Amino acid sequence: MMALQKTLSLLLLLLLTLLGLGLVQPSYGETMYQRFLRQHVDSTQKGGTSSYCNKMMQTRGMTRPRCKQFNTFIHADIGAINDICEAQNIQCKNGKMNCHEGVVRVTDCKLTASSPRNCRYQGQGSSRHVVIACDGDPLVPVHFDG
């Protein structure tokens, strides 16, 4: 029991240290750009599987307080995604004209089952057209529109 308390204390200290250094941020303090990166960008993996989706949706905080129904991860570096923001403006689903389209490798994660604290996803990888909304100066991605 004492060892468990010591481990939990060390983990809490580590989390507080990381928060203090700005390496981990609580979701309520995110900019729209940071939220976009957390929810939609993974340049380190190819994805494409259900196990990938199950892991990433949980790791990236999209299973609390409830399971997110659908999410897309883009498998490109942020430079390539920022380049999409330089493409011609097109209309977003909300009617604004700050969306841009490009082709990238993605993994779509669709919720297939959920119970308290257990979200299960089906993953499918492909290369396809995506639409993202961009804002700021310079333009950066802030919303995945489709």
Task: Name the residues annotated as catalytic.
Answer: 40, 143
Across the beta sheet with 70-74, the strand order is 70-74, 99-115, 118-135, 140-144
Q: Map tokens 């203090």 to a residue.
A: 20
CA dist., res. 41 & res. 144, Å (int): 10
CA distance 15 to 113: 31
